[in-house]
Structure 1
């Protein structure tokens, strides 16, 4: 019988990684088992947060969307000033994500240029196509509406990213495809990256891995929760 390991590894079930001592998680992800544990924990958290968001009443969604628009408007005014000519990339809401389309329409009326993300190549950075008022949208990856191929490809100054979960260090938990992080890593200059989420979706940490990129700010219905110094 082999002698006991003098330095035993902690063990965690797929859904209990959050209860493991924080020092167990290596931010450089040089420990493959640690990366597996984080991935399992994230899958469980995504399912939990997605279910909670889908259960929101229609009136609660409307209140949250309106409050988010107010917070984002104030942040963009402070960071960008006049929206005329500014290129702002958002998202088409799915799975109960905050619906910012009325606010985006108002920004467009003020002269802003609105774009939506497009997956042109799988597992590659996103492209952004111009979204004009009344423009026809097609169905893209995951059947999400997107501007058609003939729409102009533009470089956004601001990108809005929905957060399934978020933490006070500026990291977001998305759906797990990695597209937003790839896009931020590849863009030069990098756009102002704003996370949009529910206050109730705050996590103590997402256990950031090397591929996770910190956002410039995170906004919820209660206001700005995180912001990098400009």
Structure 2
């Protein structure tokens, strides 16, 4: 049976793909029962953390977003000389995620190439389409705005990843589709990954599995968070 294009294409942000593909495990790399247990725990934690995030007031959410924007600017200045010559992947905020679009606009004005992630093929690495403040966004799957297909594609030097949850070892709890980890594993050289989330979303551990790739940096409204691989 021939599948229509709409059945074969998926749009950004990749994290939302977890609502469609809730499990992403290599059955040969881990005990199946452990994978099931971790998947159930993560599902419950996602639901809890998203509920808490939804309860944040508009004013508090705006304040946290502004604080995160300031923290991100400082880190980009220190680590990447402002990132004005970098290809930086942002994200289009959904479901109460911190809104960093003003910073993306500033970086674009300074000369950075800004891209947004797009899921073009299910269970495959992401592609990154160029975005500017003037881009006429298309409506992708799940009614999320995405850069249209004619936008040029780039490989990012820096990737901003929104967090549902995170832990002190640098691991990210996303929406469960595995697209972020799959993409990091495929990109050579691997981009510098920065998790963006709320301080309240910290977990003792996400119970990382073999496919989980730790982030290089985690930022919250409180500033950069210490990462210990021993945590």
More deviation in 163-172 or 129-138? 129-138
Aligned to 1:112: 112
Aligned to 1:12: none
Runs (4+) of structure 1 exceeding 4 A deviation are none
TM-score by length of 2: 0.84
Q: CA distance change for structure 1 residues 86 and 227 in 2, over 3 Å: closer, same or farther?
A: farther
Q: What is the CA–CA distance in structure 2 between the aligned matches of 1:228 and 1:151, rounded to whole Å?
A: 38
Shift of 1:228: 8.1
Q: What is the CA–CA distance in structure 2 between the aligned matches of 1:49 and 1:37, rounded to whole Å?
A: 18
User: 1:36 is paired with a residue of what secondary structure?
Assistant: helix
Choose between structure 1 and 2 for higher RCO, CA contacts under 8 A separated by at least 6 residues: 2
After superposition, the CA RMSD in angstroms is 1.6
Where do 5+ consecutive residues of structure 1 fail to align? 1-27
Shift of 1:29: 5.8
Q: CA distance change for structure 1 residues 67 and 130 in 2, over 3 Å: closer, same or farther?
A: same
Q: CA distance change for structure 1 residues 133 and 76 in 2, over 3 Å: closer, same or farther?
A: same
Aligned to 2:38: 38
Q: What is the CA–CA distance in structure 2 between the aligned matches of 1:66 and 1:192, rounded to whole Å?
A: 22
Shift of 1:227: 4.9
User: 2:225 is paired with a residue of what secondary structure?
Assistant: strand
Aligned to 1:62: 62
- Map residues 127-206 of structure 1 onto 2, 5 A cutoff: 127-206=127-206
Report how many residues are paired: 202
Aligned to 1:212: 212
Are the equivalent residues in 2 in contact too, given 1:89–1:128 (CA < 8 A)?
yes
Are the equivalent residues in 1 in contact too, given 2:123–2:179 (CA < 8 A)?
yes
